[in-house]
Chain A
Amino acid sequence: MSSPTIEYDDVQGLVLRGYRVDYARHFILRILNPTATGDFLLALLSGSGSLPTITSAARITPKPSSFLNVSFSSSGLRRMGLSEHELTTFDPSFYKGSTDPAVAQNIGDVGESAPEHWIGGLNNGDQVHLVLSLWVRDSLERVDSISSQLRAAFGSALHELHFHDANALPDSQVHFGYRDNISQPNIKGQPPGKHPAPDHQELVETGEFLLGYPNQSGGTYTVQPQELSRNSSYAAFRILEQDVKAFETLLETWAKQLNMDKEMVAAKICGRWRNGNPLVLSPEQQCPELPRSELNNFTYITGNSETDDTLGFKCPLGSHIRRNNPRNQAVVGTDANHHRILRRAMPYGTAYNPEAPDTEQRGLVGYFINASIQNQFEFLTKEWDLGSHFVKSAVGPQGSDQGNAVFNISGEDVFLGINHESKSCFTIPGPGKIGKGNRHVTGFGRTITTRGGIYCFFPSISGIKYLAHRAKDQT
């Protein structure tokens, strides 16, 4: 299929563009007065009263120093006046919401990560209506000054339940020390310009990230009313707390158990060394950081004995990047291209200093974007992170004596799995029939805890205007 033409000025910016910024502030809001909320949204669209304007995906020159986008939970859309029938035409998981027990259970938000423990009022999903996110390039002062303008405008319309700040760490790092944000899907019709590092993967159908365009399953995601059914999208907003001390301890424990260098352990868990170099391209040692044009330019199945990694001897099948994007590896169902997500997340909290340990909360906050929460975010979390049965039988170029992919993965993703200590397992593949050459680590726990989640709907720019008027027209 050829690439569709996307109306960039009607799409909210973060769906099609990664904002290169140093700070973000996410306001979690409850609608007090739908009419006043409608007025507030209209003011954000026009920039009246010197309020910041909502950022579209159109190219803006000169580059702005701040960006603003808005999304709604299903409770929020209900409050804005959508009927129950209309809401049932939306993604079924979005409709139920992040705090629904079946939804939470399905994606591993259980135990300490369960919604009942969430912060900032996010545990009470019915009251979480809007997420207003501000990204700012290089000035915390600007974050605060724009926040003051926004907060003055919340007025009687919106109650601020919580705000969550994010701040970039040096070298695009996240708190576990890895360089992040290397790989993103390339979408048919996306704006030209800076792209994520090129890779072998096919372009993804537009409809996997925007409603109203063809998706990978041969259909088009739509909702009622039709005004919300094009150039819109969904996301899972997540606040993920990272226990850096526990993770470093895990690395040291595994290093001893496996008699392996600690940085190699970190690489095996992730699939990339902490400097971002992929194991597939640098299997034995970290090596100097590859240029951006090469960092992502690899795949797993090549058919060539030098470069092939069907069996995961270089990059374990259970590693984080391989689970969440199997690339051209055979998986049950269809393939990686049918279940991609866009990641727009940043660290929060100061960098952990092992010389001066603290109990400050730190982690990752942001959006995982897709046009189907069920078939993308939830699918890869449940099928690829929380289990190991998704791998198809496959042998490498040297035949079945070296093993089979099916036997070379176990347990759950080290970062995103539930990982009960009595059940957790990670496989380091090694040559041998039926997994006889593999090594395993067991008995480890969860180092990332969900502290909040919201399933969000990003209307198009015209959709925001439509919603504002729906809210104002309610009697």
Chain B
Amino acid sequence: MASPLSLMMPVLPGTTLSSLLSTLTAAQPSIDKALATIGTVHYARFLLLDRSSPNLLPNLADENSPSETLIISVITNYDGDFDKYIFDFVAQLGGVFDALLAHVIGGDQLIPVANNVQAFLAFILANDASQQLPNKGSGYEAYPQTVQQILAAFT
């Protein structure tokens, strides 16, 4: 059974949408390569949200205006125990995590994540909507196989 991650990270007040987009765009090639190497993540996406917007979606017309209300969200489904693989994720994506956390409230305490692994794990647990009530335990999966089993069946 794959597990969901729905990480919600409030962004530091005064950050612009464009600076977040810029960080994510720069990180995307590393992220894709790292996730393929890690091999336990079925799907992963980032969502940039704005809790002041009526439908929570940010307004691109304001991308260069400092905002008080942005959120970076990371949505994945992954195999195995995330906490057991945390050191491997940090080894592969530590730099990306540090770049993102630089924009996040409370993030500066965790940088560099390679030296703050336990605190980083605690931060993820606290901010993962899927590990906290009322959302904990909810979710559908179409198949129980792991990423590697799927890849092997279709290679």
Residues of A with Cβ closer than 8 Å to B? 92, 216-220, 222, 330, 332-334, 338, 372, 374-375, 378-379, 382-383, 389, 391-393, 395, 400, 404-407, 434
Name the contact of B84 in the complex, choosing from A383, A392, A406, A407 (C-beta under 8 A). Answer: A383
16 more A-B contacts (CB under 8 A) besides A334-B38, A389-B146?
A217-B90, A219-B90, A219-B115, A222-B115, A330-B39, A332-B38, A333-B40, A334-B37, A334-B91, A372-B87, A383-B80, A389-B80, A393-B151, A393-B152, A395-B155, A407-B152
* Cβ contacts under 8 Å, A392 to chain B: 39, 148
- Write out the residue numbers on chain B whose beta carbons fall within 8 Å of the beta carbon of A434: 152-153
B31 on interface, CB distance cutoff 8 Å? no
- Classify the interface of chain B: helix, strand, loop or mixed: helix
The answer to whether A338 and B84 have CB atoms under 8 Å apart is no
Q: With a 10 A CB-CB cut-off, give which of A217, A383, A407, A434 has the most chain B CB atoms.
A: A217
Given A218-B90, A218-B94: A404 and B152 interface contact (C-beta under 8 Å): yes
Cα–Cα distance between A218 and B113 once the two chains are bound (Å): 9
The answer on a CB contact under 8 Å between B80 and A219 is: no
- Chain A residue contacts of B40, Cβ below 8 A: 332-333
5 A-B residue contacts at CB 8 Å? A218-B90, A332-B38, A334-B91, A389-B79, A389-B148
What residues make up the interface of B, taking CB atoms closer than 8 Å to A? 37-40, 79-80, 84-85, 87-92, 94, 112-115, 117-118, 146-149, 151-153, 155
Q: How far is the CA of A391 from the CA of B155 in the complex (A)?
A: 15
**Considering the chains assembled together, what is the distance between the CA atoms of A379 and B151 in angstroms?**
24
Structural contact, B80 and A217, CB atoms closer than 8 A: no
Q: Are B155 and A379 in contact (CB under 8 A)?
A: no
Report whether B155 and A404 are in contact in the complex, using a CB–CB cutoff of 8 Å.
Answer: yes
Q: Smallest distance from the beta carbon of A102 to chain B beta carbons, Å?
A: 12
* Bound CA–CA A109/B154 (angstroms): 37
Chain A residues in 8 Å Cβ range of B38: 332-334
Chain B residues, Cβ within 8 Å of A382: 84
- Chain A: which residue is nearest B79 at the CB level? A389
How far is B88's CA from A406's CA once the two chains are assembled, in angstroms? 20
Cα separation A325 to B68 with both chains bound (whole Å): 49
Which residue of A has the minimal Cβ distance to B40?
A332
Bound together, the chains give a CA A434 to CA B90 distance in angstroms of: 33
Closest residue of B by beta carbon distance from A399: B155
A39 to B126, CA, bound (A): 45
Distance from B77 Cβ to chain A, minimum over Cβ atoms (Å): 15
B153 / chain A contacts, CB cutoff of 8 Å: 434
Q: Report Cα–Cα, A217/B115, bound state, in Å.
A: 9
CA distance A407 to B80 in the complex (A): 18
**Given contacts A218-B91, A219-B117, A332 and B148 within 8 Å (CB-CB):** yes
Look across to chain B and name the residue whose beta carbon is closest to the beta carbon of A334: B88
Q: How far is the CA of A379 from the CA of B146 in the complex (A)?
A: 19
Q: How far is B94's CA from A219's CA once the two chains are assembled, in angstroms?
A: 9
**Nearest chain B residue, comparing its CB with the CB of A217:** B91
Are B37 and A406 neighbours in the complex by a CB distance under 8 Å? no
Chain A residue, CB-CB nearest to B94: A218
Shortest Cβ gap from A450 to chain B (Å): 20
Q: How far is the CA of A391 from the CA of B146 in the complex (A)?
A: 11
For residue A376, which residue of chain B has the nearest CB? B87
Taken together as a complex, chains A and B put the C-alpha atoms of A217 and B149 apart, in Å, by 27
Asked if B87 contacts A332 (CB within 8 A), the reply is no
Contacts of B114 in A (CB 8 A): 217-219
Q: Please, how many angstroms separate the alpha-carbon atoms of A372 and B114 in the complex?
A: 13
In this complex, which of B115, B118, B148, B153 has the most chain A Cβ atoms within 10 angstroms of its Cβ?
Answer: B148
Cα–Cα distance between A327 and B85 once the two chains are bound (Å): 18
What's the Cα separation between A374 and B118 when bound, in Å? 11
Q: Which residues of B contact A379 (CB under 8 A)?
A: 84, 87
Residues of B with C-beta under 8 A to A330: 39
In the complex the two chains form, what is the Cα distance from A313 to B127 in whole Å?
Answer: 45
Task: Sort A-B residue pairs by CB-CB distance and give the 8 closest, nearest first.
Answer: A219-B114, A333-B88, A406-B152, A393-B151, A393-B152, A404-B152, A332-B39, A218-B114
- What B residues does A407 contact at CB under 8 A? 152
- Give the chain B neighbours of A395 by CB distance below 8 A: 155
Residues in chain A near residue B87, CB distance under 8 A: 217, 338, 372, 374-375, 379
Q: In the complex, A382 Cα to B80 Cα: how many Å?
A: 11
Closest residue to B155 on the A side, CB-wise?
Answer: A400
Cα A374 to Cα B90 in complex, Å, equals 14
A220 to B113, CA, bound (A): 11
